[in-house]
Structure 1
Amino acid sequence: MKILIVDDELVSRKKMDLLVRSLGHETVVAEDGLEGWEAWKKERTRMVITDWMMPGMSGLELCAKIREAEGSQYIYLIMVTSKEDVEDLVRGMDAGADDFITKPFIKEELAVRIRAGERISSFETRDIVIFSLAKLVESRDSETGLHLERIRHYSRELTTTILESENPPEEIDTLFVDNIFLTSPLHDIGKIGIPDYILLKPGELDDQEFEIMKRHSVIGFETLNEALNNYPKADYLRMSAEIALSHHERFDGSGYPYGLKGKEIPLSARIVALADVYDALVSKRIYKEAYQHDVAKSIIEKKRGKDFDPMIVDAFLDCQEKFIEISKRFSKNQEGFNPLQRIRGV
C-alpha cells in the first residue's frame, strides 16, 4: 500500500518514513500540511499518516479537506499527536481522523495501526457490487469471454495515457482514472431490460429489433441515475450513468440515443466507446472471426473525428501495445458472442 506521510519535523518525518517502508509499504512524504494536501491530490493514497500541529495547514485541516474531497473511495487517516485529552481526540475524529498514534511511537504500534487501516480499506464492497451487477447482465447472453475485464483495462489505459499527455483535460485526474476502471463494466447494464429473443438472437437484428436494442442505453442510465439520486455523493454512480447513456454516441453526432456531438458527449463515454468497439473488433463472434490488431487499428484510425474523439484515438495509438497485451491476457477460453457487440456500419 502507498501511504502519505505528513510531518513538519525532520527527525519525526524521517523516522516515520523509515518505519513505514520497513513494514513493506511505499511512501510519499510531505513536509507540511499544504504540501501534504497537494501530494494527496496528485497521488490519492488510500492511507495518510499526518502530524497534528503544523504551520500553514494543521493535521486537523488536512484531514477535513481530504474527507471533503475523497469521493467514493474511503481514505484511512491516522493522526500523530502528543495530545491525549478526550476533547482533543474528539476534535480529531470530528475532522475525519480514523485513528491516533501518540508520540513517541514504536514500530509495533505503528504496524498494528496500519494493519487496521488495511482491513477497513479491504471492506470496501463498492467494486464487488458494481462488477457483480455487470456480470449479472453478461450472464444473460452467450459470451463466455472476459469482455468486462478487457473493457475496464482498455478504458484505464486510455485515460492514463490522456492524463500523462502534454495538455490533458482538466476533468481527468487520478480519481477519474479510478472511477472509469470501476464503472466502465456497467456500460451495458441496460441490457437487463432487453427481451431475450432480441438479446440472444444469433443472427443479424432487423431494424425494429435494433431500435429495441438501442433502448438499453436509456434503461441503463435510468437505473443508475435512480441510484445516484439516493446517493448524490457517489461520484462513481454519476460517471457510470453517463457511460451507460452515451457510450453509443458518435463524435460526429451520428450515434444514439440523442445524437450528441463532440464534447456534448461526456468524456468518460467517449473513452469507453473506443474501448468497446476495439474489443468487438478483436473478439471472435459467431458471424465473424476475430480481427488482428492492425486491422482494428486501421478501422479506428479511419473513424477518427467521425465515430471517435481524435484525442482518444491519438491516446489509443500511443498505448496500443498495452491494448494488445490486455487482449491476450483476458482472452483465454474466449468463444461464443455477445449480441450487443455487433458493429453496425464498421
Structure 2
Amino acid sequence: MPILIVDDDDIALELLQNTLEDEGYEVESANNGYDALEKLRSGRFQTVVSDWEMDIMDGVQLCREVRKRCFSSYIYFILVTGRTSTKDVVEGLDAGADDFIAKPFEPAELCVRLRVGERIRALESRNGMIFALAKLAESRDTDTGSHLDRIRDYCRVLAQQLSTLPAYRDIVDGDYIQTLYQTSPLHDIGKVGIPDNILLKPGKLTEEEFAIMKTHVEIGAETLAAVAANHPGMDFLDMALELTLSHHERFDGSGYPQGLVADEIPLSGRILALADVYDAITTERVYKKAATHDVARSVIVKGRGAHFDPDIVDAFLAVEKEFIEIKSQFESTNEITDYPSSLQVQLAV
C-alpha cells in the first residue's frame, strides 16, 4: 500500500517523496490536513508521514482527526517536526502519533521508522486474522473446551525444548516459536466443512464417515491458501498452511493426506501431531472419556518412530511436567484410568 505524505511546503514535499520513492516506496502526497483526510477515506493508506506545522490543519490536528474516525485498518502516523521538547512530545503522543522524526532527518532513519510501522501493522493484522479464523473453527465443536489454548501451549514448550538441541538451534528460534504458538490454533479450521452428524457423532465413526472426516485437512489447507492469496506478504500463513496440511502425517509414512515420511513432514506438523494426540487422549470428547497423563505418555512413547518423530517424543519426555501443568491449568473434565481402545484409531481425527 502507498504511503501518504503531508506537507504544505511544496519543496519539502517533493524532497520527501523523492527520498521515499528512491527507497522503493509507493507515495502519494497531500498539501494540508483536509486534503489528507479526504485521501484517507479511500482506504488505500496505512501509513501517514506528516509535517507538524501547516497552516491548514497542522499535523497534530490531522492526527487527532485520524484517531477519531473509524478507518478500515489501523493507520500508523509519523510526525515530522523540529519540535523536540518534552511538552511537544507529550502533545504529539496524546494526539495519537506513533512516532516522531526530527528535522533535518536522514533518509535511512526515516526508512527504519517506516519498517517499524510495517512490523506493528503486520502483527496487528496477523493476530486479528488468526483469532478470527481459529474462533471460526472452534465454533463448530464446542466439545473441545480449551483445546486451542492447550494446543498452542503444548507446541510452545515442545519447540522451546527442541531449540536447546544442536540439531534444531538454527531452525527453532524465537520467531519460529512465536509463529508456531500463534498459528497452531488454526490446525483444524477445515472442520468447518465437516457435517455435524460426523463431526459431533457420539461414537466410533464408520469407514465412510472417517474418510469424510479426514477431508478436513484439505479443506483447511485450501481455506488458508485462499486467505494467503488475498493477503500477500503475510508469511505466517505459510506455517499455518503447512501445519494444517501435515499434522495428521505419521513419521513412518502411514498418515494422511500425503503419506509423508520422517523429515518430509514439516517440523511444525510433527510438533503439532504429538500435541494434538496428547490433548485428544487427556480430554473428554463426545465419543470418549478423558484419560490420564500416564496413559497419554504410554501411547506417545509406544508411537516413537512410528506415529511420532523420535526427537519430539524425547522433547516431550523432557518437558512432560510442563504438559501436566498446562493440562491442569485448563482442566475441565474428570479423568479415568483406562483408555477406550476401540476408539484409539480415531484419537485426533
Q: TM-score range by the shorter chain?
A: 0.5 to 0.7
Percent of residue pairs identical:
49
Whether contact under 8 Å (2:201, 2:287) holds in the other structure is no
Aligned positions of 1:289-304 closer than 5 A = 289-304=289-304
Identify the residue that residue 143 of structure 1 maps to in structure 2: 143
Identify the residue that residue 161 of structure 1 maps to in structure 2: 161
Q: 1:98 to 1:276 in 2, by over 3 A?
A: same
Residue type at the aligned position of 1:292: T
Are residue 249 (structure 1) and residue 249 (structure 2) matched? yes
The superposition leaves residues 127-166 of structure 1 with CA deviations (integer Å, 9 ceiling, x where unpaired) of 2431232122122124151000000000011001100223
Report the structure number with the largest CA radius of gyration.
2
Identify the residue that residue 84 of structure 1 maps to in structure 2: 103
Aligned positions of 1:1-346 closer than 5 A = 84-85=103-104, 88-93=105-110, 95-98=111-114, 124-143=124-143, 145-168=145-168, 170-332=170-332, 343-344=344-345
State the superposition RMSD in angstroms: 3.1
Structure 1, unaligned runs of 5 or more: 1-75, 101-116, 336-341
TM-score by length of 2: 0.63
Q: Match of 2:305, SS?
A: coil
Whether contact under 8 Å (1:300, 1:313) holds in the other structure is yes
Q: In the aligned structure 2, how far is the partner of 1:80 from the partner of 1:264?
A: 47
Residue type at the aligned position of 2:112: G
Q: Which has the higher contact order (CA 8 A, sep 6+)?
A: 1
Whether contact under 8 Å (1:145, 1:334) holds in the other structure is no
Q: 1:79 to 1:164 in 2, by over 3 A?
A: farther
Q: 1:313 to 1:132 in 2, by over 3 A?
A: same
Q: In the aligned structure 2, how far is the partner of 1:230 from the partner of 1:343?
A: 39
Residue type at the aligned position of 2:318: D
The superposition leaves residues 281-326 of structure 1 with CA deviations (integer Å, 9 ceiling, x where unpaired) of 1112344332211121111001000000001001101111100000
Residue type at the aligned position of 2:327: S
Structure 2, unaligned runs of 5 or more: 1-76, 79-97, 336-342
TM-score by length of 1: 0.64
Residue type at the aligned position of 1:271: I
Whether contact under 8 Å (1:146, 1:334) holds in the other structure is no
Whether contact under 8 Å (2:284, 2:333) holds in the other structure is no
Q: Match of 1:242, SS?
A: helix
Q: In the aligned structure 1, how far is the partner of 2:183 from the partner of 2:300?
A: 23
Corresponding residue pairs, total:
244
Q: 1:271 to 1:176 in 2, by over 3 A?
A: same
- CA shift at 1:266, angstroms? 0.6
Residue type at the aligned position of 1:92: E
Residue type at the aligned position of 1:97: R
- CA shift at 1:330, angstroms? 1.4
Q: In the aligned structure 2, how far is the partner of 1:273 from the partner of 1:130?
A: 20
